[in-house]
Structure 1
Amino acid sequence: MYTAINGVFENGQLTLQEAPPTKKRTKVLVMFLEEIETTKGEEVIKKKGIKLGSLASKGYSIPDDFNAPLDDLKDYM
């Protein structure tokens, strides 16, 4: 069984942010994830996602019968 638990490694000690699923002696695998820290005065630049409906002006649209049953699947209904 694999379970992921968040934690912080600082000053040579690992502190888990939640209780592990077992109290028994268990093998563990620790992965160190690179974290980018910002210094005072730096701004974090976030990428903007696609806004809902933004593709409508580019010719994309959903047909009115989008939720209607498909003729190909009538035998299964």
Structure 2
Amino acid sequence: MLATVKGIYENGRITLEETPPSLERSEVLVTFTKVRASSQKKKREFGIGKGIVKNMSADFDEPLDDLKEYM
């Protein structure tokens, strides 16, 4: 069985943030990723979707002609 459990490595120790699903003897693989500081989040930029997102047509909610026989 494979399971992923998040934890923090600090001062030579790994502290798990949750209990693993299996408490039996298991082989473990450890992958290290960089921790992002919450104060270093990228500031959101307004208007990022301008030109990509288009308005829906005025008749978007109107019934389709192809489905008239079912209505």
The two structures have a TM-score, normalised by structure 1, of 0.56
**How many pairs are equivalent?**
65
Task: Select the structure with the greater relative contact order (CA < 8 A; seq sep ≥ 6).
Answer: 2
Which structure 1 residue ranges, 4+ long, deviate > 2 Å from structure 2?
35-38, 64-71
Instruction: Give the structure 2 partner of residue 28 of structure 1.
Output: 28
The two structures have a TM-score, normalised by structure 2, of 0.60
Q: Deviations over 1:33-67 (max 9, x none)?
A: 023559xxxx635142556xx74xx5921123435
Instruction: Give the structure 2 partner of residue 62 of structure 1.
Output: 56
Identity of aligned residues (%): 31
Segments of structure 2 that go 5 or more residues without pairing to the other structure are: none
Q: Deviations over 1:2-41 (max 9, x none)?
A: 2221101111111100000011111111110023559xxx
Segments of structure 1 that go 5 or more residues without pairing to the other structure are: none
